Amino acid sequence: MIKKLMSSFLQISQNDAEKLQQNDPWFYSHYVYAANVVTSKLSKYIDLGYSQLFDFGCGDGIMALGVSRSVVGGVTGFDVTEAFKDLPQKALETLHLADYPSTLGFVQVDPSKPLPFPDNHFDGGYSWSVFEHVAMIDGTLAEVYRILKPKGVFFLQIEPFYASPFGSHLQRLIDEPWAHLLTDEASYLRRVKASKDTVPDTEKDIMYRENEFENVKNYLIGEYKTLNKLTVNQLLAQILKAGFHVMEMRTTQVNQLAIPPVLLNNYSEYDLRTNEIQLVISK
Strand order in the sheet with 274-282: 3-5, 104-108, 74-79, 52-56, 122-128, 148-158, 274-282, 245-253
* pLDDT reported for residue 101: 76
How many CB atoms are closer than 10 A to CB 23? 10
pLDDT at residue number 120: 98
Rounded to the nearest 5°, which phi and psi values hold at 126?
-160, 160
CA atoms of 217 and 138, how far apart (whole Å) = 30
Q: In this structure, are residues 104 and 34 in contact, taking their beta carbons and an 8 Å threshold?
A: no
What CA–CA distances, in Å, run from 118 to 45, 103, 137, 185, 278?
22, 18, 20, 41, 27
What is the model's pLDDT at position 9?
41
| Residue 151: per-residue pLDDT | 97
Question: What does each of the 283 residues of the chain score in pLDDT, given as a tens digit?
Answer: 344 443 334 466 667 777 777 777 788 889 989 999 999 999 999 999 889 999 999 999 999 999 998 877 899 999 999 999 999 888 888 888 777 778 899 999 999 999 999 999 999 999 999 999 999 999 999 999 999 999 999 999 999 999 999 999 999 899 999 999 999 999 999 999 999 877 766 666 666 767 788 888 898 999 999 999 999 999 999 999 999 999 999 999 999 999 999 999 999 999 999 999 999 999 9
The pLDDT value given to residue 104: 93
CB 58 within 8 A of CB 84: yes
Q: Please give the pLDDT value at position 77.
A: 97
**Cα angle, residue 12 at apex, residues 106 and 69 outer, rounded to 5°:** 40
Tell me how far apart the alpha carbons of residues 235 and 158 are, in angstroms, rounded to a whole number: 10
Contact 275, 161 (CB under 8 A): yes
In the chain, the domains with their CATH numbers are 3-162+228-257+266-282 (3.40.50.150), 168-226 (no CATH)
